[in-house]
């Protein structure tokens, strides 16, 4: 990325912040994970492929158009999984940022028979109530992008079997909050299972009241 435009640099710095946070949280091993943000001109700023999220700098970011064609950074290639991001941007026009990560408790359930998605906490209802589980499909493939396009219109979060999580939102902060909340809930389910207990789930009335709160206070996250 060679542009000195201050807005572009600010977005790149924000991506670097959340990339570092992803690595520090143990949500991205080796070159795992990727982040993208929709720019005001309709293009996208994306993390590069095959790079650790630990020490990315703004100059590492890659600009791509809405077709996935790279239009900047001769020294870096756009994330190999960006086609999956584009599918989410297409089905949800309000989406401004996408995060793909590998949180360990979330991934442990993604690699098992059933993913526990019934909400246990208020945060789970507010940030990640509608979790869509996608069967294992080759990462970065056209088949995976098409699956999201055809099945994911009402999802808050995607769980990719034997792979990881994809979250998205009107900001990187919202996408990150969703990632944290799903991982926290997965940890709660795991800890309850370690005690051979079934966690108490929120009932329909409790969930409906939380949805009302969400409409009032979280409608513009």
Count of all residues that appear for the chain in the document: 221
- Residues marked active site are found at 81
**Tokens coding 72:** 């900047």
The number of beta carbons lying within 10 Å of the beta carbon of residue 210 is 20
HSE, CB side, 13 Å, CA atoms: give it for residue 115: 25
Rounded CA separation 99/79 (Å)? 12
- Tell me whether strands 97-101 and 164-169 are parallel, antiparallel or unpaired: antiparallel
């Amino acid at each position: 990325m060679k542009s000195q435009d201050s807005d572009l640099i600010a977005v790149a710095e924000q991506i670097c912040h959340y990339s570092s946070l992803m690595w520090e949280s143990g949500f991205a091993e080796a070159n795992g994970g990727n982040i993208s943000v929709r720019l005001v001109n309709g293009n996208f700023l994306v993390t590069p492929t095959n790079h650790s999220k630990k020490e990315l700098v703004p100059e590492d970011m890659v600009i791509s158009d809405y077709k996935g064609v790279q239009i900047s950074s001769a020294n870096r290639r756009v994330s190999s999984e960006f086609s999956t991001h584009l599918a989410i941007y297409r089905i949800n026009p309000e989406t401004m940022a996408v995060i793909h990560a590998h949180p360990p408790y979330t991934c442990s359930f993604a690699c098992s028979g059933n993913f526990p998605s019934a909400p246990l906490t208020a945060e789970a209802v507010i940030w990640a109530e509608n979790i869509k589980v996608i069967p294992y499909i080759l990462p970065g493939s056209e088949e995976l992008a098409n699956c999201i396009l055809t099945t994911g219109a009402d999802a808050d979060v995607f769980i990719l079997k034997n792979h990881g999580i994809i979250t998205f939102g009107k900001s990187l902060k919202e996408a990150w909050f969703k990632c944290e909340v799903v991982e926290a809930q997965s940890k709660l389910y795991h800890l309850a299972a370690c005690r051979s207990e079934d966690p108490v789930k929120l009932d329909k009335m409790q969930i409906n009241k939380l949805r009302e709160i969400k409409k009032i206070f979280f409608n513009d996250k």
